[in-house]
Amino acid sequence: MASVSMDQVRKQYGAVPVIHDISMNIEDGEFVTLVGPSGCGKSTLLRMLAGLEDISGGEIRIGGRLVNDVAPKERDIAMVFQSYALYPHMTVAENMGFALKLKGQDRATIEKSVREAADILALGPLLDRLPKQLSGGQRQRVAMGRATVRQPQVYLFDEPLSNLDAKLRVTMRAEIKDLHQRLKTTTVYVTHDQIEAMTMADRIVVMRGGKVEQIGKPLELYDRPANTFVANFIGSPAMNLFEGAIVDGRFVTDGGAALPMPEGYQGATAAVYGIRPEHLTIADNGVPATVVVVEPTGSETHVLAKLGPADVNLVLRDRVEFQPGQTVMVAPDPKRIHLFTSQGLRAN
């Protein structure tokens, strides 16, 4: 196990910068998720950490050792790829033992290590099979096994669950988290799925356009997003954001709806009002909204409504019988209101 640190790490292709001076520290044994939309640079950053991409500037340290010019195999890290990248002509056991074979370990040691890793991941009965004879989930586990068998200082996961169906993704999510809890190996995990990031990580790094937007624990990001991008990206359904201005102690949206201000807020710079769908309730003292769509999920009800010209999403714990076109009174929880400046930065 080892800590990972990045200091002013930069990457550019010709004159085009794709990673802008990123700095962060990942503690020994921590599970950190890099999350962001496609093209935000999260996979590039991971590949720079792996040594598969050169870095244009800055420093990367693994376990305190500067690894800028160190080859991937010398970094003592293991990577799980999105496409699994299993060697198609090798059996599961051969795939898992290949790195040890290259290290020159004897056959008995390799077999023992492979067997141990296979036991952890329940791969024992599959050791003699070829990758093409495995299901998607099994292949994913073999890819993890191949990483585990080397006992690296750091695990790198590059969107490992993207090729799996929704149900299997949930199962594998739990397996990866369980594996981390047992091995306590420092892990950097890339995903574009914010649910994956929220459920698995000790800390999340939200990226956009090659820059870090916010680093924090999952619930910190959820409860106090640093800007409108993070507010919108973290959480599903996304946070409701309304543009407007503060008028006479209330926030008046561009559509004319007057919303209550958070308790104790004294500033006057807020230009965007944010409220999560589950922090809106139906109350007589609310503002009128017109129901558009009602989606009952069983445990809760999702309602899409119109607040003036703007869409507003509600997640209600109660089972409601609203009809499209019906007017309902929507009230935000004053303790859960987020205010942002016109530049999109947090104001409260």
Partner 1 sequence: MSDLAIPTLQTEAQRERSAIGSMRLLQTACILVIALVIVSPLFMLLIASLKDDRFQILADMGSFRAFWVSNPTLSNFAEVSNLSGELAFGRYLLNSLFILGCTVGAGLIVNSMAGFVLAWGTLRGRALVLSLVIALYVIPQESIIMPLVIMVSRAGMTDTFAVQIVPWVASPLYIFLFYQFFAQLPKELLEAAEMDGASVFRTYRSIFLPLSLPALATVSILMGIETWNQYLWPILVTQTDYARPITVGIATFFGQDSIYWDRAMAASVLMMIPILALYLAFQRWFVSSFIGSAVKG
- CB-count exposure of residue 154 (10 Å: 0-12, 13-18, 19+): buried
Check residue 85 and give left, alpha or beta (phi > 0: left; psi -120 to 50: alpha). Answer: left
278's tokens: 């589950």
Q: How many residues does the chain have?
A: 348
> Shortest gap between Cβ of 81 and partner 1 (angstroms)?
5
> Shortest gap between Cβ of 98 and partner 1 (angstroms)?
5
278 residue type, one letter: E
Q: How far apart (Å, rounded) are the C-alpha atoms in residues 188 and 85?
A: 18
> Shortest gap between Cβ of 294 and partner 1 (angstroms)?
44
> Where in 50-109 is the site for partner 1 (CB under 8 A)?
50, 52, 71-73, 77-79, 81-83, 85-89, 98-99, 102-103
> Shortest gap between Cβ of 286 and partner 1 (angstroms)?
52
Which of residues 103 and 317 has its CB atom nearest to partner 1 in the complex?
Answer: 103
Which of residues 152 and 277 has its CB atom nearest to partner 1 in the complex?
Answer: 152
> Shortest gap between Cβ of 65 and partner 1 (angstroms)?
17
In the block, tokens 């530049």 appear at 343
For strand 203-208 and strand 186-191, is the pairing parallel, antiparallel, or unpaired? unpaired
20's tokens: 């802008």
Please count the residues of this chain forming the interface with partner 1, following the rule CB under 8 A.
22
Of 298, 325, 327, 301, nearest to 313 by C-alpha is 301
Which of residues 18 and 282 has its CB atom nearest to partner 1 in the complex?
Answer: 18
> Where in 185-244 is the site for partner 1 (CB under 8 A)?
none
Which of residues 49 and 234 has its CB atom nearest to partner 1 in the complex?
Answer: 49
284's tokens: 């007589």
Which of residues 63 and 260 has its CB atom nearest to partner 1 in the complex?
Answer: 63
69's tokens: 């010019």
DSSP alpha helices (H): ranges in 92-224?
A: 92-102, 107-120, 136-148, 166-183, 194-200, 218-223
Of 292, 297, 314, nearest to 239 by C-alpha is 314
> Shortest gap between Cβ of 346 and partner 1 (angstroms)?
39
Contact in structure between 205 and 35 (CB atoms under 8 Å)? yes
211's tokens: 């820059």
18's tokens: 């794709």
> Where in 11-50 is the site for partner 1 (CB under 8 A)?
50
Q: How far apart (Å, rounded) are the C-alpha atoms in residues 74 and 53?
A: 15
Q: How far is CA 106 from the centre of its chain?
A: 40
Which of residues 17 and 72 has its CB atom nearest to partner 1 in the complex?
Answer: 72
Which of residues 50 and 303 has its CB atom nearest to partner 1 in the complex?
Answer: 50
> Shortest gap between Cβ of 114 and partner 1 (angstroms)?
13
Regarding 134 and contact with partner 1 (CB under 8 A), the answer is no
Output 295-299 pairs: Cβ under 8 A, ≥24 positions apart.
Answer: none
Which of residues 36 and 160 has its CB atom nearest to partner 1 in the complex?
Answer: 160
> Shortest gap between Cβ of 4 and partner 1 (angstroms)?
16
In the block, tokens 């930065």 appear at 345
> Shortest gap between Cβ of 83 and partner 1 (angstroms)?
5
232's tokens: 């919108």
Which of residues 77 and 339 has its CB atom nearest to partner 1 in the complex?
Answer: 77
Q: Which residues pair with 85 in a beta bridge?
A: none
> What is the contact surface with partner 1 in residues (CB under 8 A)?
50, 52, 71-73, 77-79, 81-83, 85-89, 98-99, 102-103, 146, 150
